[in-house]
Amino acid sequence: MRKYIAFFRLRFSMGLQYRAAALAGIVTQFVWGAMEILMFRAFYQADASAFPMTFQATCAYVWMQQAFLALFMAWMMENEIFDSIVNGNISYELCRPINVYNMWFSRSLANRLSKAVLRSMPILLAAVFLPAPYGLMPPVSLPAFLLFLITLFLGLGVTVAFCMLVYMVSFFTISSTGVRMVAVSVVEFLSGGVIPLPFFPDPVRQVMELLPFASMQNVPLRIYSGDLSGPPMRHAVFLQIFWLFALIALGRCLDVLAMKKITIQGG
């Protein structure tokens, strides 16, 4: 375990060094969040009763999504891992007394957390000082905020576990590009990254909420905004825990298969 903690610490420290990239990301995400809110505002002005979330809750959803974008976006996978699979550098990792899955999982966690640490606070602080209802509202209660933090890390775990599946599937393909494009598109749409899940028709939403993608950003962001509470909230948290262990178990199975079939030419 200590060696994987060491990998986590090294990757986390490395991620904190990219401050210029973080500054560019802060500006981009703040502007993008403002554009989304103005777009939603136009729809709410047309007919606010047609939407399942209040406009203030939607604004909170958008700002929290932008602040913690690095935790949940599937397109933030590491090119270094894909390159090592394609060019054969994975052989160096196999020479170490480590498990590749565990190492990549810890690295991915650290990489996302370091980016979120650099970007989240400036965006949240700026959103808090915006006038109502466009700004970030406080959490509905202290218990809801604590549960938000718990589900935030559970959602991060589910996201990383899913990305690990993409890494492992890449062992069985000639090029990872197609797998990555499909995975990113599916996650963006089904996790609430493009449109919050409550905005979908009820029959579609009920199916989407059972999928692992809904256990990523959908749950913590809706808990913070007050849209998810009571029995549906408890059900969503249980689903997060289930999908976290299920995706990790599936990833480990693919890891075993990949290590048995891996072929490195040349050298």
Q: What whole-number distance in Å separates Cα of residue 134 and Cα of residue 235?
A: 30
Residues 6+ apart with CB under 8 A from 205: 197, 198
Domain-embedded: residue 267: no
Domain membership of residue 266 (yes or no) is no
How many domains does the chain contain in total? Answer: 1
- What residues have CB less than 8 Å from 171, skipping those under 6 apart? 85, 254, 258, 261, 262
In a domain, 184, yes or no: yes
254 contacts 80 by C-beta, under 8 angstroms:
no
Taking the C-alpha atoms of residue 159 and residue 142, their distance in angstroms, rounded to an integer, is: 26
Please check whether residue 197 is in contact with residue 208, taking contact to mean a CB–CB distance below 8 angstroms: yes
251 domain-assigned: yes
Residue 196 located in a structural domain: yes
Confidence of residue 212 (pLDDT cuts 50, 70, 90): very high
Whether 172 is covered by a domain: the verdict is yes
Cα–Cα distance for residue pair 257/73, rounded to 1 Å: 27
Containing domain of residue 24, as a range? 2-261
**Helices 55-67 and 19-46: crossing angle, nearest 10°?**
160
Convert the pLDDT of each residue in 73-123 to its tens digit. Answer: 888 888 888 888 887 778 777 777 888 899 999 999 999 999 998 889 999
Q: What is the pLDDT of residue 133?
A: 87
Residue 194 lies in a domain: yes
Average pLDDT over residues 195-204: 91
Question: Which pairs from 26-32 meet CB under 8 Å and 24+ separation?
Answer: 26/118, 26/119, 26/122, 26/123, 29/66, 29/67, 29/69, 29/119, 29/123, 30/66, 30/122, 30/123, 30/126, 30/127, 32/66
Q: Check if the beta carbon of residue 135 is closer than 8 Å to that of residue 127.
A: yes
pLDDT digits 0-9 by tens, 148-181: 999 999 999 999 999 999 999 988 888 888 888 9
Question: Distance (Å, rounded) from C-alpha 73 to C-alpha 185?
Answer: 10
Q: Dihedral through CA 235, CA 53, CA 211, CA 234, nearest 10?
A: -10
Average pLDDT score, the chain: 89
- Is 248 part of a structural domain of the chain? yes
What is the pTM for the complete model shown?
0.92
